[in-house]
Each structure stands twice: as structure tokens, then as C-alpha cells.
Structure 1
């Protein structure tokens, strides 16, 4: 993006060489300034008229150069996109959405909460696989199939959205190339997903633009399915992408102009700064540009909640945008009209005798008094749409003085129209806006959440059970190793506000200190044959059977895999076995100490990765739990590196995201993208935050477990 100093140099040079008017033919000014994703605006109001002229000239020129075709925007089935002002980014495992204890989705309640807190949603993204994808061979489409209820259940959710007037997106991840293949091109697989779910749009993760074949293939499925890019959409693809994210765009002190929105007024851009605790920059950009906002609080398991002030601002914006969507998508946009208050800025939107001004207050203090002086037209009626009241402006010499109050970092809106231009529902809008304004808050307090660990079930023994080894007691004072990922490591607040995760994808050491009481741990992971015995003797059947022991046949382990680690078991399945065996799962740090021993070895057998010590995946699947005796830990434990990840008793939650820590690594590693979860054999100190998404998704071909038990102190 062009920095402000460069902008002013170009602008002033143009003005000086053209007698005060921006030279439309000045190539550096046009290219360097107006090709920015968010075009910076000059500070000096005297430059604004020339700035607007240059904007208009650039638009005409670029449309001609591109031979721009707006035919897709003129098709009625796509009209909804231009008024999709509020998009909700929903993680399908969010505890407020999927209640595992109730075995149901809470979509209706989610939408009700969205209306109360944010003003309601126009569209919603069902986000699924990342950051879990890569733990096993399942691909992005499998993650939708394995949701509770599968694709039919997802389609039911989409239909509920439609009944509430909300559009639905599914997500496409082009970087997912290292998991199970569909046997067809991604374009075809995405089209089939849309057909199965009745989704209205494709969110193009990590992409600036979609495959050119998408448009024709989606049109063949059903009309009105849109494409929305995550990264800044190039002008050359505005013709077939009705929406895009405005992610991470940095604004100038005077509100800038969204390039794509200026070029194509019907193009919707959703402002998003995912790691910010202050969302007023996004709200200001959306309000001044007649554009939209992405509401995203649960960022892949990191909590980035909206404060009360920002929620209040969005609640004030959305009803106005929806009622006057035609103005915000029309050609009557005048950016940066002069105001009467310092650091208050305004845009004007006009059509068929109606004029609407959107205002923003850039200051941290309230602004009160004169805000605009505008031409007064005969018989006009005047309104403050944010406060929800009629105005009686003072009119002198054909000029109306509009006065009002704008809260710190807040917004304002004035409407002028003749009686004949009154819109249906206007009176109700004013009443609702007055009520919303009365409950508006200026609080910037971040709604922090605390991650709490689930209490560990007690299981004690006097003697060391067969097949286990005694350890401790010991004071644990060591590092654990984690990958820095967008989901965080041990809490939902592991990020830097306004920045995210420094050194993303790198390893981080976290010092862990605790007292490990005397305990015993299994020498080997639980095998298929041992789990089969548990089922026979206990009669255990999971409440949610999706993917339970998926690899078994007719209720039995596959022939030849009896002594392989049991997989396709979730955390509750593992706990059920442990209860039956009068044991429990090991804590994360009990597991680590058993793997690395008193000398804190890097790997169970020593400080170097060596061949023949673990299942490295070369065989393409699991191996017997005692296949690598040379890879045992100092306590004699098998398979604590590679073969399968192992559950630990580490379940935690902040009330929105549940997770557990897996240990050991596995035979499988998804190659080809840094966005995949870790795979392959891992060091003894390495732990992976594993988001709990639901039984069908938590049961993996690469995750097993072993048990532990507390030992009574020796006399």
C-alpha cells in the first residue's frame, strides 16, 4: 500500500502542474495511488475535490483498459451479495454452536445472539478443517462429511439460515494437497459439496482469486453461488468475484477509499483485522465506503472477542445499510465531503432525491454540535438515523446546519429526502435505532476468557499393575515444546493483540513446573485386541458412534492388526477403557516424563533421531506396539515416538473451544503445506494442541492411547 508521504508528493505534483486540478493523464499518480487496496486520502480538505476528480478519472480509465464486463453483477440471482454487509465466521466446533453434551447444533440460538449483540448476520461461513487437518489422512471434504449429521445435517443448517434470510458459505482450501485425494479435481469436488449442502458461496481460503473454471461449474449446480476471496482481489477478477475480504488493510488518518468498491459499487468487501481488540478502524472503513464487516471472535481456537463499544457501533450501522443498500451499491457516492468538526469525516450517498451522509469520529472523545452544512432542498425531511430521531435543522440562505452527537470513535448518519421518497419500514427503523442508541456502550474492555483444565478422574492402586512401570515421585521442572500456530499452545490468549502470533509455525519452549506424585504408566499403548476384550466384557457402546473403530470389520480388529495400537477412538472412548481397567489417562507431563526419563532425553532412546527406533511411516500404517524394542524410553516404555499420537488427560476449555494435548507423533505426515498440523515421529517433549470438534472428527486413524494410575506412596 502506498504510504501517505508518497501519496502527498504525487498529489501535490499533479496539482502544481495542472493549475490546481489533478492531471488525469499523470500515470505515476494514477498507478501508484489508486492501485492500492485501500487508497489513502489526503489530510487537507482543500485537496479533496481534486482527489475525487482523480478517483473518477482513474475509474473510467481502468474500466476501459480492462474492457470491464459487469454482466454478472446485473444478474438477479447474485443481487444478494451487494447487501451482505455482516458476515459471521463460524467455527463449527465452537462450544456455543455445537453442544456436545446436548448432541445438537445451536444455530437458531447463535443467530438470535448475533442479532442482539451485533445487529444480525447477512451471511455465515461454516469453517471446518483447519487447524486440525493433517493429523490423519482425511481431506478438507472429509471434514465436512464427518461433522455431526454429515452433509445432510449441514444442508439442514443451510436451510435454517435461508429461512432466517441468511446466506451460507462453505470453505475451500487450495493448499490441501497432502491428504487423501478425491479422485477428481478440486473444482468438481467443491461443486459437489455445494450441490449436497445448498450453500450460497465459496470462501476461497488463502486465495486472491479462484480458478477461472469455478464460475461455469457453480452455475451448472444452481444459480447465485458466489466466490469470495480471502486475500485482496485483483481488479482483473472483479467481474466474476462478487465479494472479497479487506483483510489487514491499513487506513490513512483521513478515511481512505476501498479500491475495489470504488471500481465496482456492487462489489462487497468484508473488513477484517482478525487479531485486533479495537475494531473501529474496520467499522469506519466499512461505513465510509458503504461496505461490510466480518464478525470473527473465535479465531481457530484463539479468543478475539469484540468489546461492547464495537458491537454497539455495528448494531447502529447495519439497519441503515440494509434499508439503504441501493444507495451504497449505486453510482451516487461522493467520498470525503467537508464537515464542520475536526477529525470528523463524511461520505455522501445520493439517488432519486434521497441524500444520506455517513460520518465517523476519529477521536477518542465525543463530538457534539455542528457536523455538516449542506444544501437544503424544498420540502425535505431530515433525520438522524443513528439516534433514531427527526431533525429540524436551522436553514439559512438555502444551507442547512446539521447538528448532532457522535460518541468517541463512533459513527453518525443523516438522511434528507422528500416525503415521496419515504421507504417502507422507516418509522420502525427509527424506533429500533432509538432503542439501540439508548443501550449503546462506550466500553472498550476486552471480554477476556480464562482457559480452565478439566479435573482429572482419580484412579489409584497400591501395587504396580501388570504391564505398567512405576515412576516418581518427582519435581517436574522442564520445557515442553509446541508449534506456534493460530490456535495457540496452552490457552486461547497466546497471541499478541493487533499482531497475532509472532514467529508463526516455529517451535516454542514453555517451562512447565509441577510435582508429579508417584504413578504407573502402561509399558505400551492399548492394542486392538485389548480394546476388543474391553468391549466384550463391558458392553461399552459410545453415545455417538460416528467413525468409532472405523477400521474394524464386523466388530473385530482387522486380521493381523491385533497387537497394533487401537485407533479411531476419541477422548471419551479412551476414558471409558481406562475406567473399566481401573486406571486413567496419563497427564500431559506424566507422559512426557515417562518418555524422556530423568535425563530429559530428546527422544525416548537418546538425543538423536535414529532409524529403526520408531515407526516413521515408511510402511504406510501402524505397526505392532512392541515392534521397536530399541526405541524404548528409560523406563522401558514402548512406542512413545511415532506410530500413533496418544491422548493425554489434558482437556481444557475457555467456554468456546475445547482441546486436549496429544503426544508422541504418528506414522502419518501431511506434506505440501505449512498449514497442516504436525505429523510424523516427534520429540518426547513435543505436545500438539488438538481442538476437540466432535466424536466423528476426533476419532482418527493416527490417535491411540495408553493408561496410567496413581500409586499410593511407598512406606
Structure 2
């Protein structure tokens, strides 16, 4: 059997572009180089001088053809972007950033972890809506504006010295409309004081969007998800280098070569070995996207890669002037033997100082000379570590050392290379349901004790399902490996029979619970938001209660002497055909909460009448059979409460 593509191999559009060295740089050849992600480097060192000359010629020609001015990089408010080397994409409800127990954001905990493992961050993207959006009619702006204390979180991150990006989802066309997207985004940027906008699924912003955002926040930085067209480097100060495959001998990033102040962030979200990205970033003087939780999936960085980031950005922050203003020589000539050992370097020269950023492509340390003549080994390793980096500095004879050198050397002494490349696995741990004490409803569906086997249907999303990542070391998963229908098998054993309520809890029943107990949630945001004056709206008393979160549902079930059914119990009862659905149909909470220490999720059952159309990125909608499960990442601060999720109770049947 053959496959149309191998997901572990870069696609043609991911690969670097060969730079023709024979003949002239014709207009056709120059325009073809405009389309590169990375300019592939020649294997033969003898070809490197001609290669560098061709890159210089292309840049001069491309800037002339596109009437490049560089004005966007002269904005003082946006100068930070050129030195923004590490950005973390973080889900608002990442358990490092948010405490579900305390119902508050914990930026200090998040930043401490980033500082200890990655040397700190320069910016964060606060990811908010996907993959939850579409579960009801809330739009992408609601998933920011409904968050209590979000402006305070942004202020805390600013106080810590970070820049903050918000996320724009242009594909969100199937939720409620509250106004023009451009106006909404501009208003949000102004309200939060955001420094940048991440352009989800886009390479670039349309000119009107650029103008409106600049008006709302002078100096706003726009960063797209993929290869930025060369003509738009003019008005986009940053871009992702996502799924950019390098050549065997490391090449040059086209956008950063075109404009040194244009910051790029290497990212391969599903890879477990980030060596190639890090080495490309180090040789090109650019940054990386540190993304350890991809839409609820743990893809944490190895100790080796985290240590490399820590060492790399510590140097980059200290030598920023060299990287931005110095003369850059990619693939500089090295001492005999270094290149044969898989060692390559860029040279950066500014006045009396010369820096070499060095990489080792091989699996063995290189202990020989890298360049001729005396140099200062900034890391003090004495070698270029296997699959690692080095930094060498030369100060011209008689010239003063840089003022930043002593502090940098002191910091780097505390940052040794770590050779451990192992992936740091995490397991999602299930919250165990409590024992029940009450009697089930007379018409409850009783699931017998004993072993069971279930076929579960689900839609393949980037969230995965229970354990592990849905994609490992893959280059940009595409349909049919994304959004297609799949099945999994679940098996287990019920120690006792379980009775699952035939009907969902209604607004009337939940009101009786409140009257009897005085229950009030610890976090009231969005609680029973569809009621009026603390009571169900007349005519909806027998509708399934919604705008309740997992804890609200658990509290009601405990009052009834029961608990929520697990997703397996719900399916076993549903397959009897005796579970009733209320009107309108709503998803059902189940006792399936899991946490791996970074993300909390549950499995929803039953489907709902609501469906968001217009994009495959939305949460599942429509009524579903009992075999269907949908994984929901749990938001905090009341955002898990919505119009399309209710619940029913379950009881352990006593003998």
C-alpha cells in the first residue's frame, strides 16, 4: 500500500529554495527567489562566496522592485519586535497561568517556569477561543471580553517586561455577529493595550486591517502564521517560520535577510526534536516560538532543547546590536576540520567586536578549533556540543571589551549544556467520581455491572483525545489526517450497576436545588445567564438547564445523592435507546475530567441543536448518537458555562 504523502517528510512547499549560482540573476530568477522560505546553502564551501554574492544581489533587486522603504521598522513604538527572540503561545487556561482551585490567573508561576527552563520570555500570545469556539454562538471577541481580570493579566505581563499578542481568527464567520471584524479587533487591541496581533491561519493582514490597527495602537506588531510575501515585509514587523525545512548545510531565512529588523520565530508545533529550528534561529539571529501545549496537547520540550533556548536567548539579548547592525556573513569560513565535523557558523562584525554563532549538526561533540586565532568561548564548554550551539567572541587587539561581557559570562556559567534529548511525557489523570448515597429516579436507565467494550466515534482535531499527541513529528497535518471521522475502543468494568437519569435536569429542578440549598458558585461569571431575576424565564421551566459548569452540575447531583455519569456510563445507557433528550437538545457534562498538570478537559456526550458553520475549526455541533464523544478543553472563570451544555445525574445501584 502506498500513501499520497508521508507526514513525517517535509512537503515540497516546506523545503528550502535552491539559489542558482550559474549565469546572471535574471528578473525571472529574482522573482522566483521572492518565494523562498529558506535559501538553501551549497554543500561545497567553494561555492559559498558566490552564494553570498547572489543573496546580496537578490536583496538589492527585490528591494528596488518592491519600492522598499523600511518605514514600519522606524516606528519607535515597535522597535521591541526586532529583539523579541522568545514568544510563548499559551492557552489562557493553561494550569501554569491559571489556578482552577483559586479561580485566578497566576502569571508569576508561569513566568518563573519560563525563566528557569527557557531563560525567560520576551512576549506571549494569549490564546483564547479555539478549540472551544463554536460550542455555542459566542464569537471570538466574547472569549476575550467575558474573561474577568483579563486586562489585569495583560498589565501584570507588561509589568514583568513582556509584550502581549492577542489572537485574530479570520475564519470565525459562523458565530454571532456584533460588528465588523476589523473594528472589533482594533477596539480589543485598544482596550487591552495589546502590543501585537497574531494572524491565525493567515500569512498577512490586508492593508485596511493594518491601517485600522495602527490607528488603534501605534506601533502594533502583526505576525502571520506562515511565509510572509516579500512585499509585505514592508508593513509586518514579524512572522512565523512555521514548518520551514532547512538544507543539510544550514541556509538563510529569506524574510530576515531582506530586512534584518524583521523578526521571525521558528516553530514546528508537533516535533519533539527542535534542534534544526534552534540552529537555524541561532545562525540567522532570529527567535523561536516556545509552544508546549498545542490546543490542549502536551508537546513539551526536552531538557536539551530547553537548555539550548536558555543559552541562545541570553546571548542574543546581550549582543542585540551586533545581530542587528553588524556585518552578517552566513556560513563564514572556519578552521580546517570544523566543517568536516558538521560545524557551521555565522559571523557578525561590528567595530572591534566579532561574534561567531556556531552549530554542530552531528551526534558527537566537536573539540577542535572552530576559527583561527584567539577567541573567547562565551559558554565556556570547550567544545561545540553534539546537536548544540556555541558562541565565540573576538575583541580586536587593544580594543576595550564590551561592557556587557562580564555580566553575560557570569549568567552563562549558570547555564550548562544539557545533553538529555528525551521527550518529557505527561499523562492525563482522571478525576475519580465520588460514591453516591441517594436513590435513583424510578425511570433511570440501569447499566448492569461487569465488563464492557465500547466503540467511540469522534472527529480528529488538534486536541487529540485522551492521552498523547494526535500527531508526532509531523509536518502540518492536513485532511484527511485532520478533521476526519475516527473511532477508538474503550473497555472497562463496572463494579456495581449504575443508574443513569433518563432525562436531563431542567431549569425548574435546578431552581428547586437553589431554593433548598442556597448554592452559589465560587466564580459567579455567566452562572445561569439565561435566567431573569434569578429565576427561569417563563415558558422555559422544562428546558434543560444550561449556563452551568462542571462544578455546578456536580453540586446539583450531590444534592440528589448522585453524581454525573462517566462518558462510558452515558454511552452504555444511551445505547439502550431509553435516554430522553430535552428541547432544545444540549450536550451533556460527564464525570470525565482529566488533567495533565497543564490542561483540563472533559468528554461531552449527546450533541446539541446548535451548530456553527463556515469553518472546520469550530467545535462539533448537531445532535449526535450515544457513541459520539467530543473533547472539550475546560476554560476557567465561568467561561465553561454556555447555552448548549446541560447534564443528567447518575447513581451507583446498591445491592
Normalising by the smaller structure, the TM-score range is over 0.9
Q: How does 1:644-683 map to 2 (within 5 A)?
A: 644-683=586-625
Q: Aligned match of 1:555 in 508, 530, 534?
A: 534
Corresponding position of 2:6: none
Q: Aligned match of 1:446 in 402, 418, 423?
A: 423
Deviations 1:118-164 (A, max 9, x none): 011111111111111110111111111222x2xxx222222222222
SS in 2 for 1:662: strand
Report the alpha carbon displacement of residue 231 of structure 1 after superposing the two structures with TM.
Answer: 1.4
Report the alpha carbon displacement of residue 662 of structure 1 after superposing the two structures with TM.
Answer: 0.3
Corresponding position of 2:384: 406
Q: CA RMSD in A?
A: 2.0
Report the alpha carbon displacement of residue 319 of structure 1 after superposing the two structures with TM.
Answer: 1.6
Corresponding position of 1:165: 161
- Tell me how far apart the structure 1 counterparts of residues 648 and 263 of structure 2 sit (CA, whole Å): 51
Structure 1 position 363 matched with structure 2 position 362: yes
Deviations 1:159-200 (A, max 9, x none): 222222211111100001101111x21111111111111110
Q: Cα distance 1:28–1:570, how it changes in 2: closer, same or farther (>3 A)?
A: same
Q: Cα distance 1:500–1:58, how it changes in 2: closer, same or farther (>3 A)?
A: closer
Q: How does 1:156-555 map to 2 (within 5 A)?
A: 156-182=152-178, 184-330=179-325, 332-340=327-335, 341=338, 342=340, 343-373=342-372, 382-387=375-380, 404-418=382-396, 420=399, 422-437=401-416, 440-460=417-437, 464-473=440-449, 475-499=451-475, 503-516=481-494, 517-555=496-534
SS in 2 for 1:458: coil
Report the alpha carbon displacement of residue 4 of structure 1 after superposing the two structures with TM.
Answer: 8.3
- Tell me how far apart the structure 2 counterparts of residues 49 and 197 of structure 1 sit (CA, whole Å): 49
Whether contact under 8 Å (2:90, 2:127) holds in the other structure is: yes
- Tell me how far apart the structure 1 counterparts of residues 444 and 597 of structure 2 sit (CA, whole Å): 35
- Tell me how far apart the structure 2 counterparts of residues 695 and 660 of structure 1 sit (CA, whole Å): 16
Deviations 1:37-65 (A, max 9, x none): 11111111010000000000111111111
Whether contact under 8 Å (1:230, 1:247) holds in the other structure is: yes
SS in 1 for 2:383: strand
- Which structure ranks higher in relative contact order (CA pairs < 8 Å, sequence separation ≥ 6)? 2
- Tell me how far apart the structure 2 counterparts of residues 590 and 251 of structure 1 sit (CA, whole Å): 49
- Tell me how far apart the structure 2 counterparts of residues 429 and 53 of structure 1 sit (CA, whole Å): 34
Whether contact under 8 Å (1:24, 1:54) holds in the other structure is: no
Corresponding position of 1:132: 132
- Tell me how far apart the structure 2 counterparts of residues 174 and 138 of structure 1 sit (CA, whole Å): 15
Corresponding position of 1:46: 46
Report the alpha carbon displacement of residue 220 of structure 1 after superposing the two structures with TM.
Answer: 2.1
- Tell me how far apart the structure 1 counterparts of residues 539 and 201 of structure 2 sit (CA, whole Å): 43
Report the alpha carbon displacement of residue 351 of structure 1 after superposing the two structures with TM.
Answer: 1.8
SS in 2 for 1:238: helix
Q: Cα distance 1:642–1:424, how it changes in 2: closer, same or farther (>3 A)?
A: farther
Corresponding position of 1:623: none
- Tell me how far apart the structure 2 counterparts of residues 257 and 387 of structure 1 sit (CA, whole Å): 27
Q: What TM-score, normalized to structure 2?
A: 0.94
Report the alpha carbon displacement of residue 107 of structure 1 after superposing the two structures with TM.
Answer: 0.6
Whether contact under 8 Å (1:84, 1:122) holds in the other structure is: yes
**Greater Rg, structure 1 or structure 2?**
1
Deviations 1:635-689 (A, max 9, x none): 3x21189710000111111111111100011111000000001011112200000
Q: Cα distance 1:215–1:373, how it changes in 2: closer, same or farther (>3 A)?
A: same
Report the alpha carbon displacement of residue 421 of structure 1 after superposing the two structures with TM.
Answer: 5.3
Q: Cα distance 1:591–1:330, how it changes in 2: closer, same or farther (>3 A)?
A: same
Q: Cα distance 1:59–1:500, how it changes in 2: closer, same or farther (>3 A)?
A: closer
Whether contact under 8 Å (1:641, 1:682) holds in the other structure is: no
- Tell me how far apart the structure 1 counterparts of residues 30 and 209 of structure 2 sit (CA, whole Å): 32
Whether contact under 8 Å (2:269, 2:294) holds in the other structure is: yes
SS in 2 for 1:196: helix
Structure 1 position 99 matched with structure 2 position 99: yes
Deviations 1:368-395 (A, max 9, x none): 0111126x8xxxxx4222228xxxxxxx
Report the alpha carbon displacement of residue 497 of structure 1 after superposing the two structures with TM.
Answer: 3.4
- Tell me how far apart the structure 1 counterparts of residues 272 and 583 of structure 2 sit (CA, whole Å): 40
Q: Cα distance 1:49–1:688, how it changes in 2: closer, same or farther (>3 A)?
A: same
- Tell me how far apart the structure 1 counterparts of residues 43 and 369 of structure 2 sit (CA, whole Å): 20
Count of equivalent residues: 636
Whether contact under 8 Å (1:2, 1:40) holds in the other structure is: no
Deviations 1:552-579 (A, max 9, x none): 0011001100000000000000000000
Structure 2: runs of 5+ lacking an equivalent: 1-11
Report the alpha carbon displacement of residue 696 of structure 1 after superposing the two structures with TM.
Answer: 1.6
Q: Cα distance 1:695–1:161, how it changes in 2: closer, same or farther (>3 A)?
A: closer
Q: Cα distance 1:56–1:430, how it changes in 2: closer, same or farther (>3 A)?
A: same
Q: Cα distance 1:134–1:669, how it changes in 2: closer, same or farther (>3 A)?
A: same
Q: Aligned match of 2:546 in 546, 561, 567?
A: 567
Report the alpha carbon displacement of residue 5 of structure 1 after superposing the two structures with TM.
Answer: 11
